Amino acid sequence: MQVLVAMSGGVDSSVAAAMLRDDGHEVVGVTLKLWGGESDSGCCSVSDVDDARRVAQQLDIEHLVFNFGDDFMADVVEPYVADHAAGLTPNPCIECNRHLKFDRLLVRGAALGFDAVATGHHARIAHDESGAPRIARGVDPAKDQSYVLHMLTAAQLAGVLLPIGGLTKAEVRTRAEQLGLRTAGKPDSQDVCFISHSGGGRATFLGNRIALRPGRLVSREGEEVGTVEAVELVTIGQRRGLGLAGDGSPRYALDVDVAAATVTVGHADDLLVDGESIRSFTWVDAKAREFVAGGATVTAQVSAHGEPLELHAIEVHGDGGSEVTVKWAQRQRRIAPGQSIAIYDGDCVLGGGIVV
């Protein structure tokens, strides 16, 4: 089988390429050139491209570079900026997976005649009783990335391979060491790839693109209790950086009103909600949507490495089930609008969407 492997320059995708090569596939590595600006914290730097190219040389496979910079700007960076301007808390890594790694790359791979596209994500592809593919949790719970792949449909999964999902991170590094790969000891990327810490971080990045306005901090009763330098940088649930001394009891951002330049603050219990509304929900297939709408017992995950949360109820509505309301079995802290919730049947992802 001809397989196009997305090689980010990290150890996971390096080992994924090696495993597929060793399994007898005709493997070609590809690195996506996404961000042309300053980067020191993610997977978009010049050194990452160079690492991927050198690993491909070590593995004796062809290496390509696809320039998806315009798509990355339009589908990831510009929405990231616009969301902050609207008081939302986006997840750009999810949008990169949605639009670039599992859309543009799949389309390009198919056009070039490849049978499948592979990545180094820590997740597995499982199948239901009818053989329909599902994203499933990776075997290493500390590194599982199924949550950030919740938007993948069965049609897309038919052309995707995830070779390292059955390995722990330690096992991945051991394989890389045994192969002598230059990425064996390379640390994992942790942050948003287009935000440079040395260049001033998120505040500078956004401040160069939108006007950041000071805002008022008010209590639930409307009393002004402080100020913030930029209301666009505040996230619901945030505690640090609010500059509130108060009575010694921690206070958190409960609501962000960018138009009024106001952040409502309160105590931890004030963040508890009975449920969440979700928009732009993508189901892996119609069968998964019908399974959930029929009252099946499922769980939800609200962060990349969060624990599964039990649901009291889930309602599916909107065109094609694009709108979902979840009711928690026990009250949970409010999820910041713009973040994502994924729905699981055991270890398998049924779909996910964006919190309203």
Runs of H (alpha helix) within 86-210: 92-96, 105-111, 154-157, 169-179, 201-207
Given a contact cutoff of 8 angstroms between Cβ atoms, the answer to whether 164 and 15 are in contact is yes
Given a contact cutoff of 8 angstroms between Cβ atoms, the answer to whether 206 and 232 are in contact is yes
Q: Is 43 a catalytic residue?
A: no
Given a contact cutoff of 8 angstroms between Cβ atoms, the answer to whether 5 and 20 are in contact is yes
Looking at residue 186, what DSSP letter applies?
P
Sole residue written with tokens 């045994």 = 178
Q: Is 193 a catalytic residue?
A: yes
Distance between CA atoms of residues 268 and 251, nearest Å: 7
Report CA Rg, the chain. 21
One of 43, 44, 93, 193 is an active-site residue; which one? 193
* β-strand pairing of 123-127 with 348-355: unpaired
Given a contact cutoff of 8 angstroms between Cβ atoms, the answer to whether 97 and 148 are in contact is yes
CB atoms within 10 A of CB 166: 13
One of 43, 44, 93, 96 is an active-site residue; which one? 96
Residue 102: burial class (beta carbons within 10 Å; 0-12, 13-18, 19+): buried
At CB < 8 A and 24+ separation, what contacts does 336-340 make? 336/88, 336/89, 336/235, 336/236, 336/237, 337/87, 337/88, 337/89, 337/236, 338/83, 338/88, 338/89, 338/90, 338/91, 339/89, 339/91, 339/302, 339/303, 340/91, 340/94, 340/147, 340/150, 340/302
Residues labelled as active-site residues: 96, 193
